[in-house]
Amino acid sequence: MNSPSKVPVTILTGFLGSGKTTLLNRILSEEHGKRIAVIENEYGEVGIDQALVINADEEIFEMSNGCICCTVRGDLIRVLGNLMKRRDKFDYILLETTGLADPGPVAQTFFMDDEIASEFSLDGIVTLVDAHHIHQQLGRSQESTEQIAFADVILLNKTDLVKAQDLDALEARLREMNRLARVHRCERANVAIPTVLNLEAFNLDQVLVNHPTFLEPEYPFEWTGVFALTPGSYELSLDDGPDPTMSLVIVEDLEPNEEALQQGAEWCVRRYAEPASRISPENAIPMGQHVELQLQLSGRKSFAIEIEKQTTLALFAQHTAEEFNLSLAVSNNADAPLQTSNASTANPVTLAGLLPVLERTWVAQHEHDDEVSSVAIEADGDVNANKLNAWLAKLLREKGVDIFRMKGFISIAGESQRFVFQGVHMLFDGHPERPWGNDPRHNQLVFIGRNLEGDTMKREFEACLN
């Protein structure tokens, strides 16, 4: 738990040449009102006068009994212990690790040493990735894989050196390995400071506030189109496609900007988890509900959408518009008032239908054979606390060495509050958070680790449900 007086610490990892020093210099030279102390391992890389720069000699040791989870950085305990005495000189710490460092012992230091834990809070782990070279590194080195696995934020740097389609593939591969991390693309580490500092990624109470569903989801939809519409009747039509059905959620009044789109997407992930109502052709599609369009009939099929007031309508569709040649048009049903003339000033009209004001294709899941992957478990309902305890204890005992990060929230039977948790290897931290209120009770758990057996884990978790 973080108290406001604790000094936040951001760990900066990444291979040599990934741009850590560039990012460090960018952060230090920008006006953000913070006084930052930098702890670096690689001597003399940073040449910034105004910053308090301390060199640390990487010393990893086991706290006791040879357990990997009790491995900490002894040098950091000493350096941070000394920095505590100079707290009036700074209010943030950036901790740069060597390119070859395993972030585990660094992160664990903030939980294993009482004195450090009482004065500092781990804010987040930022991993810089050289988009041009990471593919080779991931194949060859355990460290770079671990740096991806531990990250809260992955900065895909040097994107100017890589083709767009390769970037998409790379991003998909990284997301598959670590679905908790936010991925940002950048050139010369040119990211906005709030994307890397004050993330509160390890603060359980912030986890749900920032991201009600914090999974960087493997979105159940592939395409979103936002349309500006005036009142009237519209027709959504589709050709034959790869599947006999297609899931869809329509969101009203979604602002056509990226932030609203992300929020809408998170909301829709929840709707997609609910049972779908089947809608046959020629019927109206209800708003804000998970529906499954029935497309078994051959030929082009139409569904009705009724708009009562001017709105921006977002369609979150299971498949891309191209796959079904999906289009939205003003209805030419004779019973409906003719709207064509004033239908849309915002949407250019084509013969095929209206063009969306904003369109987005979501990164779809791709299969890779990386040994590090994310296992996400989602389930509605309540869990039995005793069963869950027994399962987690067993899981961490047997697989703790291979689990790099975990986060989640759980609905425990008989408890009115969400139980939130997070962990690094076998270190587990959890407590009750805000009340469920009227929200549907469900569970979301993510584990990032090596050689995790996702299906077994899911089955075992489901066995804990009441």
- Which residues, numbered 122-141, are part of the site for other proteins (CB under 8 A)? none
How far apart are the C-alpha atoms of 282 and 252, rounded to whole Å?
Answer: 21
Residues in contact with other proteins, shown as a per-residue x/- string from 37 to 66 under the rule CB under 8 A: ------------------x-x-x-xxxx--
Tell me how far, at minimum, the Cβ of 86 lies from other proteins, in Å.
5
91 binds other proteins (CB under 8 A): no
Binding segment (CB under 8 A) for other proteins, from list 110-118, 213-221, 373-381, 391-399: 110-118
Instruction: Report the nearest approach of other proteins to the CB of residue 87 (Å).
Output: 8
Q: Which of 198, 15, 200 is nearest to 103 (CA)?
A: 15
Residue from 78, 278, 394, 459 binding other proteins (CB under 8 A): 78
Residue with smaller CB distance to other proteins, 86 or 431: 86
Q: How far apart are CA 408 and CA 82, in angstroms?
A: 34
Strands 277-279 and 327-330: unpaired
Closest approach of other proteins to the CB of residue 93, in Å: 16
Stretch that binds other proteins, among 111-119, 218-226, 301-309, 350-358 (CB under 8 A): 111-119
By the rule CB under 8 A, 74 interacts with other proteins: yes
Residue 112 Cβ, how far from other proteins at the closest point, in Å? 9
CA angle 354, 355, 358 (to 5 degrees): 135
Q: Based on CB atoms, which residue is closest to other proteins, 58 or 415?
A: 58
Nearest residue (CB) to other proteins, 57 versus 439: 57
DSSP state letters, 183-222: EEE-STT---GGGTSS--TT-HHHHHHH-SS-S----S--
Nearer to other proteins, 54 or 273 (CB): 54
CB of 442 to other proteins, least distance (A): 38
Q: Which of the stretches 77-85, 184-192, 373-381, 457-465 binds other proteins when contact is defined by CB under 8 A?
A: 77-85
CB-CB contact of 317 with 222 (8 Å): yes
Q: Which is nearer to other proteins, 63 or 260 (CB)?
A: 63
Residue 14 Cβ vs other proteins, minimum distance, rounded to whole Å: 24
Please name which of 134, 183, 132, 101 lies closest in space to residue 368, comparing C-alpha atoms. 134
Contact 9, 121 (CB under 8 A): yes
The pairing of beta strand 311-317 with beta strand 223-229? antiparallel
Q: Does 86 bind other proteins (CB under 8 A)?
A: yes
Tokens for 152, please give them: 């809260």
- C-alpha pair distances (Å), 203 with each of 1, 123, 126, 373, 407: 6, 7, 15, 23, 11
Q: Of 58 and 239, which CB lies nearer to other proteins in the complex structure?
A: 58
User: Which CB, 35 or 78, lies closer to other proteins?
Assistant: 78
DSSP summary character for residue 84: G
Which residue in 114, 308, 335, 455 binds other proteins (CB under 8 A)? Answer: 114
**Which residue among 77, 260, 363, 364 contacts other proteins (CB under 8 A)?**
77
DSSP class per residue in 308-355: -S-EEEEEEESS-HHHHT-EEEE---TTSPP-GGGS-SSSPEETTEEP
- Rounded Cα distance between 206 and 266, Å, is 17
Tell me how far, at minimum, the Cβ of 149 lies from other proteins, in Å. Answer: 26
35 binds other proteins (CB under 8 A): no
Distance of CA 323 to the CA centre of its chain: 27
Tokens 């997407």, located at residue: 265
| Closest of 297, 263, 257 to residue 281, by C-alpha | 297
What is Dmax (Cα atoms) for the chain? 80
- To other proteins, the closest distance from the beta carbon of 7 in angstroms equals 15
Shortest gap between Cβ of 142 and other proteins (angstroms)?
Answer: 23
Parallel/antiparallel/unpaired status of strands 223-229 and 291-294? unpaired
Please identify, using beta-carbon distances, which residue of 55 and 289 lies nearer to other proteins.
55
Q: Quick one: 77 or 169, whose CB is closer to other proteins? A: 77
Stretch that binds other proteins, among 76-84, 90-98, 242-250, 302-310 (CB under 8 A): 76-84
CB of 114 to other proteins, least distance (A): 5
Q: What is the DSSP letter of 68?
A: G
State the residues that interact with other proteins by CB under 8 A.
55, 57, 59, 61-64, 72, 74-75, 77-78, 82, 85-86, 113-115
